[in-house]
Structure 1
Amino acid sequence: MGNKLLLGDGCSLNRLFFADVCNVDHQNKAGYTPIMLAALAAVEAEKDMRVVEELFGCGDVNAKASQAGQTALMLAVSHGRIDMVKGLLACGADVNIQDDEGSTALMCASEHGHVEIVKLLLAQPGCNGHLEDNDGSTALSIALEAGHKDIAVLLYAHVNFAKAQSPGTPRLGRKTSPGPTHRGSFE
């Protein structure tokens, strides 16, 4: 069965949490919390995803694993679990947290070639494509090194052109033609 998350009908996490039966922020011997482990699961039914999102909402989605310092978001991204990425982002996962090696979720997605996840992460307010890991690599350089040119183009555009333009800043590619009030001095 592997990474499939199986939940019974009527399973209510709230009952377990409020009864102090479960601590979703407790790390196991390997350093992972239930939220991190759930981020790796594949869910097949919408009701199961609702339970997972309930779990994400009950704990610290930005907690770092004691080994390597990865977050639930980084784990979901690395394994291509876009549904989990969406759920974690909806529950406040920070896209710019860096693990012990300085990697971010965006760097993980870039390395593994997850184009749709890269697009999703770049769409998050404040997503910083300029961050460097401990080796001085950025998401863009990681994507290029991994041969993911499509992702590299997205990252290049985000880093260089996604900045908000001030009202007086002309847009690239639009030339204004002189109107009747802009006639040259030789006319």
Structure 2
Amino acid sequence: MRPAAAWLALALTLTTGMQAMAGDDLHALVAAGDLPGIERAIGSGAALDTRDGQGRTPLLLAVAENRSAIAKALLAAGADLNAQAVNSDTPWLLAGASGRSEIIAAMLPLKPDLTLRNRYGGNALIPACERAHVETVRLLLTSGIDVNHVNDLGWTCLLEIVILGNGGPRHQSVAKLVLAAGADPNLADRDGVTPLAHARQRGQDAVAALIAAAGGR
């Protein structure tokens, strides 16, 4: 190898190594909630999508820790909101499941990959509905997400609202939202039990009334 080429190869190796180290540092900075440190690391060319031992990127960690300002800084710098961890979480999927509405709002213009699934075969909407994250559900429904997607358990978002919800005001609110967005009130589980039948079995009278009003049987 010519001397000039050897020096170039060495420089590239050192640069790559420094970026990897910076990426590793990003995880620690996210965990510490150090936004100025994150901004300095980004400005220094830190590798944004390096993975920890669980396959989590700094952005996924920011979502998990509910570090909204840090997540938005990483997104603005180009961090991958679709990077999937070992457990199948992506920043988008986890933000939906965890009710991170501010982060979801920042992700929407970036066109998240709506085909990716969590470890239960679900999209971001299903766990958001189960946990009655009302504002998050409202935002997710603007993304074009499939409101009738069926997960590996055989449940839609509406079925999870009833089966895993408590029928209270928040679950009533998300039921209204998904029904208005086109959730099929008669899409039954694998045993043929409809959302309305589940709601009545569980004494969720208000939710049952909503489903019936939408044509549920």
Q: Which amino acid aligns with 1:5?
A: G
1:133 maps to 151
Query: Mapping of 1:78-89 within 5 angstroms?
Result: 78-89=97-108
Q: Deviations over 1:15-47 (max 9, x none)?
A: 232xxxx3222221022111101123345xxxx
2:178 maps to 155
1:38 aligned counterpart, secondary structure:
helix
Query: Mapping of 1:4-83 within 5 angstroms?
Result: 5-8=33-36, 11-17=39-45, 22-43=46-67, 49=69, 52-57=71-76, 58-67=78-87, 69-83=88-102
Q: Which amino acid aligns with 1:85?
A: I
Q: Deviations over 1:50-87 (max 9, x none)?
A: x53231242221111112x1111222223222111112
Give the superposition deviation at 1:10: 9.4
Q: Does residue 107 in structure 1 map to residue 126 in structure 2?
A: yes
1:130 aligned counterpart, secondary structure:
coil
Whole-angstrom distance in 2 between the partners of 1:15 and 1:33 = 18
Whole-angstrom distance in 1 between the partners of 2:99 and 2:109 = 17
Give the superposition deviation at 1:112: 1.0
Percent sequence identity over aligned pairs: 26
1:173 maps to none
| TM-score relative to the length of structure 1 | 0.68
Whole-angstrom distance in 1 between the partners of 2:97 and 2:132 = 9
Cα pair distance change 1:12/1:130, threshold 3 Å: same
Q: Which amino acid aligns with 2:122?
A: S
| TM-score relative to the length of structure 2 | 0.60
Unpaired segments ≥5 residues, structure 1:
162-187
Whole-angstrom distance in 1 between the partners of 2:147 and 2:156 = 7
User: Conserved in 1, the CA contact under 8 Å of 2:147 and 2:183?
Assistant: no
Task: Choose which of 101, 117, 142 in structure 2 pairs with 1:123.
Answer: 142
Whole-angstrom distance in 2 between the partners of 1:158 and 1:10 = 38
Higher percent of residues as helix: 2
Whole-angstrom distance in 1 between the partners of 2:181 and 2:38 = 43
